[in-house]
Chains A and B, each alone.
Chain A
Amino acid sequence: MMSKNNNKSMDDVFIIGVGMTPVGEHWDRSLRELALEAMTAARDETGAMRPEALYVANMLAPALSRQSHLGALLADFSGMRGIEAVAIDAAGASGGMALRQAYLALASGMVNTAMVVGVEKTTERVTAEVEAALITSSDADYESIHGVTQTALAAMLMRRYIFEYNVPEHAFAGFSITAHANGAKNSNAMFRRPIKLDTYTRAAMVSDPINMFDAAPVADGAAAIFLARGDILPSNLPFPPVRIEASAAAISAVAVHDRPNPISFSSAEITAQGALDRAEINKDQIDFFEVHDRFSVFAALALEAAGFAAPGEGWKLAESGAIALDGQIPICTFGGSKARGDTGGATGVYQAVEAALQLQGRAGEIQVANARLGLIQSLGGTGATAATHIFSAVETL
C-alpha cells in the first residue's frame, strides 16, 4: 500500500541491491558464472548481506544446457549452502514471477531477505534448437507440433492487428527507434546504436509482417536484485532503497487460438489494473513503463492493456513520440528487449534492475526526469503469463 508519508513500513518490501551483466553472446562465460557476477554485484550494494532465499528466473537451461534445478545449483555455486532456493519457470515471464515469489515470501514475513537472479544462456545451441526450446512455452499438442515459433505467433498477431485496425505501413517503427535511442546510452545493452526510420522501413522480413527490427534478439545475460523487509533495512545503504508498491500476476489461455480476442493480452490488463489498484494510484501517475517488448506488437498491446491507449491505438504512442524518454509514458528506458536484448526468463529481472536504477536516480543519460513511480511488466508464452509490479522511489532518511 502506498504510504502517504513515505515511511518505511515494517511489512513493506524493498529492493536494496541490484546487479547485471551486459547482454550479449557470452561464449566464454557459463550460466553459473554469469549468475554469480550479477548476484555478487547485487550483494555488494548491501554490504555483502546473505539472503535467506534465492529465486532463480530461467526458461531455457534444461533444454539448452541440460541443466535444471538452478535454485540449488546457483545458491551452492555462490557459496550459500543452507539457504532455501528454487527456480521459477513462467516462460518469458519467469523474471517477473520470480520477483513475485520473492515479494510474497517477504510480505508474508516468512522470509526477511531474498535475492532474485535471472540468467539465460541462449548461445549454447544453434538457432533451430533454441527455437524448439522457446516454443515449449506454447501448447505442445496444438501449437508447437505444427512448427510455429514465438516469432510466427507474434507475426500472426501483428498481421491480424493490422487487418482489424487498419494500421498504416511502418506504424510500429517508433518502438524500435525508441528502444535503440535509449539502448545507445546503456553500456550493458547488446545494441548501442540509434536507428533511423529508413533502417526500419528497409529491414528484411523475419516472419512477415515482423521484420528484423520488430523482433528482439535473444542472447545471454544475468541480472539480480536483493530484497529485504522494511523492519530489517540496514541504515548504511549506498543508494536509496526502492519500495515494491504492488505486485500482480495472472494467466490467460496458453494457446493464442484459445483466447476470445487473440489481439489483446488479458493477463497484462488484469495485472496492470490489479497493480494500480493495489498501489492506490492511477496510470497517469506512472513515470515510466518497462514493457516486455519481445516483439514490437507486444509493446503496443501492453500499452493498450494498461490503458495508455485504446485497443488498436497503441502504435500511435510510438508514432507520436509519447513513449520516448521525455514523452508522456517513456518505455524501454534502458533499451528494452529490442536494444538491451532479451534474455528469455531473465528479462523480467533486467527490467526490475533498470526500474530500480531509474528510481534511485542512477540512470545517467537515460534518466527519466523526476522518476517516482515505475510500472514493470514481464510477459511469457505470447502473453499467457503476466507479472506486473509497481516500484516507488523512497526518500533517504
Chain B
Amino acid sequence: MEITSHWRIKKQRYALVGEVCPHCAAKIFPPRDICPDCGDEAKDLYQFSGRGKVYSYTTLYNAPAGHEEQAPYTVAMVELEEGPLITAQLTDIDEKEPEVGMPVEMVTRKLGSEGDQGILIYGYKFRPVLEIA
C-alpha cells in the first residue's frame, strides 16, 4: 500500500503540476487553491516545464533520519522558469561544484523510503541541463 500523504501529491512529485491564477496570472507551485499573490481563488491546473536555475544550494553531511544513506548530498532552491521557487536535491552533479544561476532541469528520482516495509518514494530532483553531445 502506498503511503497516502505521498500518493495524494503524485502529480506534483512526478509532473510538477501546480496552478495558474485566473485573476493575476501568477504561476503557483505547489497548488494551494488560494493565490498567494492576489488572494483570490486559483484552482486552474498548470504543468511546469521543469526548467529552471539554481537560486541557492548547499551540500549536507549530517542528514536527518531516513536520509542518512544518501549523505552527503546537495540540496537547492531552484527558480523555475515560470517564476516559483522550489526545494529539491540536485543530482548528476558528480564532482562538479554547483553555481548560483546554473541552468537545471527536472528529473524523477528516488527521494527515499518510508516505514518498516521500506516503501520507495519517488519525486523530482534537478540535474544540470544535459548537453546534447
Distance A134 CA – B123 CA, assembled complex (angstroms): 22
- A156-B77, A256-B87 known; A147 vs B61 contact (CB < 8 Å): no
- A141-B5, A142-B86 known; A131 vs B73 contact (CB < 8 Å): no
- Chain A's interface size range is 35 or more
Instruction: State which of A141, A207, A256 has its C-beta within 8 Å of the C-beta of B77.
Output: A256
Decide if A208 touches B87 in the complex (CB within 8 Å). no
Main secondary structure of the interface of A (DSSP, over half): helix
Interface hits, B53-69 → A, CB 8 Å: 55-68
A/B pair count, beta carbons within 8 Å: 105
Question: Chain B residues near A145 (CB, 8 Å)?
Answer: 111-112, 121, 123
Question: A283: CB under 8 A from chain B?
Answer: no
Interface hits, B24-67 → A, CB 8 Å: 30, 36, 55-67
Hey, what's the 0/1 contact readout for B63-85 against A, CB within 8 Å counting as 1? 11111101001011100000011
B64 to chain A, nearest CB (A): 4
Instruction: State which of A128, A142, A156, A157 has its C-beta within 8 Å of the C-beta of B76.
Output: A156
Hey, what's the 0/1 contact readout for A177-211 against B, CB within 8 Å counting as 1? 00000000000000000000000000000111110
In this complex, how many residues of chain B approach chain A with their Cβ under 8 Å: the count is 34
Question: A132: CB under 8 A from chain B?
Answer: yes
Question: A160: CB under 8 A from chain B?
Answer: yes
Additional A-B contact list (13), CB under 8 Å, known A147-B66, A148-B87, A257-B84:
A131-B62, A131-B65, A145-B121, A146-B111, A147-B67, A149-B62, A156-B76, A159-B58, A160-B56, A206-B61, A207-B58, A210-B58, A257-B77
Question: B15: CB under 8 A from chain A?
Answer: no
A-B contact pairs, 12 of them (CB 8 A): A127-B62, A128-B68, A131-B65, A141-B9, A145-B123, A147-B70, A147-B73, A152-B58, A163-B100, A210-B58, A256-B87, A262-B77
Question: A129: CB under 8 A from chain B?
Answer: yes
Distance A257 CA – B123 CA, assembled complex (angstroms): 17
Decide if A156 touches B36 in the complex (CB within 8 Å). no
Question: A253: CB under 8 A from chain B?
Answer: yes
Q: Which residue of chain A lies nearest to B121 when distances are taken between CB atoms in the complex? A: A145
B100 to chain A, nearest CB (A): 5
B38 to chain A, nearest CB (A): 13
B29 to chain A, nearest CB (A): 9
Distance A157 CA – B58 CA, assembled complex (angstroms): 10
Question: Chain A residues near B36 (CB, 8 Å)?
Answer: 253, 258
Decide if B64 touches A147 in the complex (CB within 8 Å). yes
Residues of A within 8 A of B (CB): 127-129, 131-132, 134-135, 140-149, 151-152, 155-157, 159-160, 163, 206-210, 253, 255-258, 262
Instruction: State which of A142, A151, A156, A253 has its C-beta within 8 Å of the C-beta of B62.
Output: A151
Question: Chain A residues near B87 (CB, 8 Å)?
Answer: 142-143, 146, 148, 255-257
Question: Chain B residues near A144 (CB, 8 Å)?
Answer: 64
Question: Chain B residues near A142 (CB, 8 Å)?
Answer: 30, 86-87
Distance A351 CA – B57 CA, assembled complex (angstroms): 31
Question: B88: CB under 8 A from chain A?
Answer: yes
Question: Chain B residues near A149 (CB, 8 Å)?
Answer: 60, 62-64
Distance A142 CA – B78 CA, assembled complex (angstroms): 12
Q: Which of A134, A146, A209 has the most CB of B within 10 A?
A: A146
Q: Which residue of chain A lies nearest to B80 when distances are taken between CB atoms in the complex? A: A257
A206 to chain B, nearest CB (A): 7
Distance A105 CA – B61 CA, assembled complex (angstroms): 44
